[in-house]
Amino acid sequence: MLEVVSLEEARAFVRERFGSLQGDVESVALEAAAERVIADDLVASEGVPPFDRSTVDGFAVVASDTFGCSDALPALLELVGEVQMGAEPDCACAPGACVRVPTGGQVPDGADAVVMLEYCEEYGDGTIGVARPVAPGENIVYENDDVKPGQVLVEAGTRLAPHHVGTLASLGKTSCEVRKRAQVGIISTGDEIIPAGETPIASQMRDVNAPVLAAAVEACGARALRFPIVPDDYDALHAAVDEALASCDMVLVSGGSSAGQKDNTARVLSDVGELLFHGVAVKPGKPTMCADVGGVPAYGLPGHPVAAYFMFLELVRPLLVPPGAAGAQAKLTEGIPSNHGRSELVAVRLEQRDGETRAVPVRGKSGLISQLSMADGYIEVPRNREGFAVGATVEVKLFR
């Protein structure tokens, strides 16, 4: 094993060498745009809404006509017209008059407020009684209130959420330009590893890492391409890595990353590219490695599922998603001692207690993936700290 680097140094190696996996640009239909990364700033070419519109069913009025009115003394207004949905008003609203308007309908000229229908009474003689006063602007969304022409609505590099798709639709977009999804090759290694659907015999173990890593890749908006399990054989692993490199933007090899005689991952990655580091001062995840293969990042991740997942979150995910992964502050419910001389990643569960967010450590060994089903995220204990005391406020990195 090469000289161990700190977790901070490993992050820097990855960030400075690869930046992020920015694929080419492609156009996708709006219904397929969610979770994709938008390629360019979304700039509004028009305003939204394009006219003053009512937010309620009621009557458009001059607000000052309603001042001081009540159930006992309603304001009496002349009904001069009705606005139809999708049509411009064919009348205006002068003092002493009102116009019937539906929710979403265009507010006629002269009106500066809309009274809700339930506060009005029709007398049958063309007169409307208003029993509740309204202020100017009440129940109206004005032209360009939501979006102003030239406004940047979504910055380039943003991963589109459903509400972003709604914004695109409001501007008349039926498609948008997004970055192509990175393709990530996933290879599990080990003579003892069998597919998850098979029954283990003797010391065999089901492949946990490939499904976990594939799901994590897809959650980042990338495509996961799984390759067959590779035995502890240098030539077989070399061939699998070559195949993955030919079709993928990134390669993840799990297992075979320690310093044992049959741990071939470091040898293969060194032969196909430049090994940037092999060994990270972190618990769990020490055997992690990363190589640069002609600009393509190739990782050797630990065989222990929890360690492999943590190292994915720390060193792989930042290349696949825009910066700013979700986090939360919480107070520890118990102390976490740590004096290993390396960073430590501790899974936690978030709970609400007495109006505060609390972080409850989830204890377990790095090979027990089931522990993470009870956790919401994890905290990092820096290598230069001897842990955190009970009640300490910590930053929780969320899994989602």
What's the pLDDT tens digit per position in 22-66? 778 999 999 999 988 899 999 988 888 899 999 999 999 999 999
Report, at the CATH architecture level, how domain 27-48+146-179 is classified: Alpha-Beta Complex (3.90)
Distance separating alpha carbons of residues 130 and 77, to the nearest angstrom: 8
Domain ranges for the chain:
5-21+182-320, 27-48+146-179, 53-141, 327-398
Is the predicted pLDDT of residue 14 greater than 90, yes or no? yes
| Confidence tier at 3 by pLDDT (50, 70, 90) | confident
The answer to whether the beta carbons of residues 101 and 59 sit under 8 Å apart is yes
285-299: average pLDDT: 96
pLDDT in tens, 374-386: 899 999 999 888 8
For residue 366, name the pLDDT band (cuts at 50, 70, 90).
low
Cα-Cα-Cα-Cα dihedral sign, residues 154, 160, 161, 162 = positive
Q: What is the 3-state secondary structure (H, E, C) of the chain?
A: CCCCEEHHHHHHHHHHHHCCCCCCEEEEEHHHCCCCEECCCEECCCCECCCCEECCCEEEECHHHHCCCCCCCCEEEEEEEECCCCCCCCCCCCCCEEEEECCCCECCCCCCEEEEHHHEEECCCCEEEECCCCCCCCCEECCCCCECCCCEEECCCCECCHHHHHHHHHCCCCEEEEECCCEEEEEEECCCEECCCCCCCCCCEECCHHHHHHHHHHHCCCEEEECCCECCCHHHHHHHHHHHHHHCCEEEEECCCCCCCCCCHHHHHHHHCEEEEECEEEECCCCCEEEEECCEEEEEECCCHHHHHHHHHHHHHHHHCCCCCCEEEEEECCCECCCCCCEEEEEEEEEEECCEEEEEECCCCCCCHHHHHHCCEEEEECCCCCCECCCCEEEEEECC
Write the CB contacts of 8 (distance below 8 Å, at least 6 apart in sequence). Answer: none
Q: Is the pLDDT of residue 371 over 80?
A: no
Q: What is the pLDDT of residue 192?
A: 92
Residue found under tokens 């999804």: 181
pLDDT in tens, 350-359: 999 989 999 9
The predicted model scores a pTM of: 0.75
Angstrom CA distances, 348 to 58, 208, 321, 376, 395, stand at: 52, 21, 23, 6, 11
Q: What pLDDT does 386 receive? A: 86
162-216 pLDDT per residue, tens: 999 998 998 889 999 999 999 999 999 999 999 999 999 988 999 999 999 999 9
C-alpha span between 360 and 396 (Å, rounded): 11
Ramachandran angles phi, psi of 183, nearest 5°: -105, 125
Class of domain 5-21+182-320: alpha beta
Residues 6+ apart with CB under 8 A from 400: 219, 326
> Domain 327-398 adopts which CATH fold?
Beta-clip (2.40.340)
Q: How many angstroms from the chain centroid is the CA of residue 233? A: 39
Question: Domain 53-141 has what CATH class?
Answer: mainly beta
Return the closest-CA partner of residue 380 out of 313, 300, 299.
Answer: 313
53-141 and 327-398 have identical folds: no
